[in-house]
Structure 1
Amino acid sequence: MKVNYNLLGFTFILVRYMKKLTRLLLPFVCFCMAATASAREITARLPKSKQLMVVVTDGWNNLQGKIFVFNRVNHHWVLKFSNAIVVGTAGLAVGDGIIPFNLPGAPVKREGDKRSPAGVFTIGTAFGYGNKKDATWIKDHYVCASDTLICVDDSKSAYYNTLVRKDTAKTAYNSFEEMHLKKDYYKWGLFINHNSGKVVPGDGSCIFMHIWGNAAEGTDGCTAMTEANMLRVLHWINAKNNPLLVQFPIADYKKLRKAYGLPAVKL
């Protein structure tokens, strides 16, 4: 058989070249695969939800902002409505939500700092001054904020960051927040699951979405709006849709938005 030595030599050089190219490209390929896997892991951390509330402010120390309310339709977030809100008097701080965030330079939520928590949060019970029969339209668990209902903010108490009835609580607490006030702040509201599950003493407690005093009055750490807008949120929200609250300064929200599949918003 006649051997084509020119072709054989070319093949040998080509094989050596491909081996070198493979060695050069392998780290890049591995990096790309790791980045893709990392993106999948980030997305997987967000629970499936059909309802989303996005709250944004102009910065960590701003108390005024806006809420955007979305429904998920055919894998896309569709805006339902938006309105003005206020957050804590001192602004926002990184809180304890369903995803841990490490944002260099950002304040971290602490008990009594008058900052609202930034992050991604599930939604707890609805509450209000009316009896349950007055709130049958709410598609969520509902608690009547009677004179005996309190939220414990004593970080040393076993009831820290929970709603309890003063007449049934079995252990001590040294400080708490009344849930039935003379003003209408808690006439209608939602409990936000910040620092919930494995509660960390001192990381902040009793975070709500409720009625504001006015557009220039911040809260002690909650997110607030007009009564009409709070009622609109309560008519919209449905616990079966696993609603989420995402709350950040607008610049940080824009940096995180694509990685988490969140909708674009503008202040």
Structure 2
Amino acid sequence: MMEDVLTELIVVPANDNPTRGVLKAGDREFPCALGKKGLALAKREGDHKTPIGQFPLRSVFYRYDKLSKPIYTRVPMLAILKEDGWCDDPRDAAYNQPVMLPYHARAERLWREDDLYDVLVVLGHNDNPVRPGEGSAIFLHVARQKGRDDFEGTEGCVALRKEDLLELLPALSPETTLKVISH
């Protein structure tokens, strides 16, 4: 269990697989999934790449119906509602922002049938200011696992085992950043 507040999480890609990496949190390391097509210096909507850079933690969303015990973090928390979505349509004024579903433009549903968004941390990527087409819905979320340490690549997010993400939450604050670096 992590107790101290972390100022930085560092994600480093694996040498042998661009869709895998390691998230370093203080003296701990956690295996993680990265974009299906690796990393990108210049993120584009739909490129399946995780953006390289340093990102603040904006908020935590969680599925209140799927988590058996309360979770604690200093990052602002919001329960996911069945109507919650995230606009991923670069032509819409709400691009890369939360929306209520149904929505008139393309938007991703946050209330999912799988476990990927049981807990998700919104990363401050392309949000200040929002630039159309430069990537949306970049989160730290639960990994899709094929085995204990065998993850599927993401659409562009960083993903951890659920238990690892839950372990990290108490050590996160609004001052914590997630830094994705290449070799």
Same fold (TM over 0.5): yes
- Give the match's secondary structure for 1:55: strand
1:64 aligns with 2:20: yes
What is the one-letter code of the residue matched to 1:62? P
Asked whether the equivalents of residues 135 and 142 of structure 1 are also in contact (C-alpha less than 8 Å), the reply is no
Deviations 1:40-70 (A, max 9, x none): xxxxxxxxx96110000046x7000100013
Asked whether the equivalents of residues 9 and 176 of structure 2 are also in contact (C-alpha less than 8 Å), the reply is yes
Match of 2:51 among 117, 125, 130: 117
1:162 aligns with 2:109: no
2:72 aligned partner: 137
Would you tell me which structure has more helix in proportion to its own residues?
1
Shift >6 Å, 4+ stretches: none
2:38 aligned partner: 91
2:177 aligned partner: 244
Sort the Cα spacing of 1:199 and 1:138 in 2 relative to 1 into closer, same or farther, 3 A: same
2:166 aligned partner: 231
| Count of matched residue pairs | 172
Sort the Cα spacing of 1:161 and 1:58 in 2 relative to 1 into closer, same or farther, 3 A: same
Distance 2:46 2:152 in 1: 17
- Give the match's secondary structure for 1:147: coil
Deviations 1:113-147 (A, max 9, x none): 0001111111110011117xx64622211111111
Match of 2:135 among 171, 180, 204: 204
Distance 2:104 2:93 in 1: 8
Distance 1:225 1:150 in 2: 21
Would you tell me which structure has more strand in proportion to its own residues?
2
Distance 2:118 2:29 in 1: 21
- Give the match's secondary structure for 1:123: strand
Aligned alpha-carbon RMSD (Å): 2.1
What is the one-letter code of the residue matched to 2:132? P
Deviations 1:6-50 (A, max 9, x none): xxxxxxxxxxxxxxxxxxxxxxxxxxxxxxxxxxxxxxxxxxx96
- Give the match's secondary structure for 1:232: helix
Spell out the pairing of 1:1-267 with structure 2 (5 A cutoff). Answer: 51-58=7-14, 62-70=18-26, 79=27, 81-94=28-41, 108-130=42-64, 135=70, 137-166=72-101, 173-214=104-145, 215-239=150-174, 242-249=175-182, 251=183
